[in-house]
Structure 1
Amino acid sequence: MAGFLSLLRRLYLSVYNWTIFLGWSQVLYLALKTLNESGHQHVYNAVQKPLLLAQTAAVLEILHGLVGLVRSPITSTLPQISSRLYVTWGILWSFPQIQTHLLVSSLVISWSVTEIIRYSFFGMKEAFGFTPSWFLWLRYSTFLLLYPTGITSEVGLIYFALPYMKFIVNAKVVLLHKRCSLNGMECCSPHLYGYMLRQRKKALSKSKRE
């Protein structure tokens, strides 16, 4: 019975990871295609549907951690997914005025490249039981560049959305929203970046021993 449940778990996680991988691959393809053909002003409209679906599907990862399907701690998963959802729905989707900003392109590219690598890494690990050493290095090294560009784009878009919030809320709430949003990003970012650095060191050290 235990063997069957283990197989079922691996099958489910394989399907989940490769499905989200395809979603983010579509986001990256559409973003690069639109940048080349139409410019950054049209990137959001081109990627909106797959972006919303792929990012929202990450909510399942919180459930995966809660029920023990994966070993990722909720303390690192929850802040990252929450901040991503906030930017995806609370900023980009809610404020069309900033959808043409250049930072949308840097955000989408940073997110999609990161997630393509991450989901294919875990998809391969669940499907085949291993990953090549070079892919392990790629998984735990690209965030060194992509995480700062991603978080900078997130904070920048929140900042540029603030003037438009006054049309739907009063000034005091806007100020509170600004403080919570930016301070939340500032607090979570060092924690998550430090966590990923520790995971990188652990994973690469283990790979060398093997």
Structure 2
Amino acid sequence: MAGIFSIFRRIYLTIYNWTVFIGWLQVFYLSVKTLKESGHEDVYAAVEKPLLWAQSAAVLEILHGLIGLVRSPVSATLPQISSRLYVLWGILWSFPEIRTHFLVSSLVISWSITEIIRYSFFGLKEAFGSAPSWLLWLRYSTFLIMYPTGISSEVGLIYNALPYMKESLKYSIRMPNKWNFSFDYYYLALGILGVYVPGTPHLYGYMLGQRKKALARAKSE
């Protein structure tokens, strides 16, 4: 029974990884093509559909960790995926005014390069049991640049969306109301920006530790 489960697990994860890989490859191609042909103002419009589904699919990775399909700790994947989904749906999708900002380009390129490498790495590992050493090195090294550029873009886009949140009151709940409850999306965004301060170095340190372990293990094999 365990053997059958292992086979189905590998088939499922192989399909999952390569499917999402294709989505991110499309995001990267369209973003670079659009930057070259018409500029950063049109990047979001060009990549919106594949970006929304490719990044939203990552919710499944939280489930994968919870049920034991993968060994990645939920404590590491949850904040990364949550922050991305917030920026994607809570900022870019919700506030069209910032979709033409140049930081959208740096965001989607940083995300897509990272994910193209990551999903191809795990796709090969699940399909064949291993991945090339050069891909392993890329998997655990490109974040050294892509993580800072991606995080900086996330923070910058949230910050640039703040005036539109305050002006539109979108997603905010004002008193009085029948629930006797108030909520301000603007202050939630400020709180999230505050979380980036301790969260960013913590996650970066975690990834540095993972890199050291993975490369040391590969060298000893």
Deviation per residue, 1:67-95 (Å, 9 max, x gap): 00000001100000000000000000000
Q: Which runs of 5+ in 1 are unaligned?
A: none
Q: Which amino acid aligns with 1:202?
A: K
Distance 1:82 1:164 in 2: 22
Q: Name the residue aligned to 1:206.
A: 217
- Could you tell me how far 1:56 is from its partner in structure 2? 0.4
Q: Which amino acid aligns with 1:206?
A: R
Distance 1:31 1:98 in 2: 16
Distance 1:203 1:159 in 2: 35
Question: Any conservation in 2 of the 1:21–1:116 contact (CA below 8 Å)?
Answer: yes
Q: Which runs of 5+ in 2 are unaligned?
A: 175-182
Are 1:138 and 2:138 matched, yes or no? Answer: yes
- Could you tell me how far 1:202 is from its partner in structure 2? 0.3
Within a 5 Å distance, the mapping from 1:1-210 to structure 2 comes to: 1-169=1-169, 173=184, 176-210=187-221
Distance 1:102 1:175 in 2: 22
Question: Any conservation in 2 of the 1:162–1:174 contact (CA below 8 Å)?
Answer: no
Matched length: 210
> CA 1:67/1:15 → structure 2, altered by over 3 Å: closer, same or farther?
same
Q: Which structure features the higher share of helix residues?
A: 1
TM-score for the superposition, normalised by structure 1:
0.97
Deviation per residue, 1:101-126 (Å, 9 max, x gap): 00000000000000000000000000
- Could you tell me how far 1:176 is from its partner in structure 2? 2.0
> CA 1:183/1:134 → structure 2, altered by over 3 Å: closer, same or farther?
same
Question: Any conservation in 2 of the 1:40–1:100 contact (CA below 8 Å)?
Answer: yes
Question: Any conservation in 2 of the 1:62–1:77 contact (CA below 8 Å)?
Answer: yes
The 3-state SS of whatever aligns with 1:166 is: helix
Higher RCO by CA contacts (8 Å cutoff, separation 6 or greater): 1
Q: Which amino acid aligns with 1:30?
A: L
Highest CA radius of gyration, 1 or 2? 2
The 3-state SS of whatever aligns with 1:12 is: helix
- Could you tell me how far 1:134 is from its partner in structure 2? 1.3
> CA 1:174/1:16 → structure 2, altered by over 3 Å: closer, same or farther?
closer
Question: Any conservation in 1 of the 2:166–2:186 contact (CA below 8 Å)?
Answer: no
Q: Which amino acid aligns with 2:215?
A: L
The 3-state SS of whatever aligns with 2:141 is: coil
Question: Any conservation in 1 of the 2:165–2:186 contact (CA below 8 Å)?
Answer: no
Identical positions, percent: 70
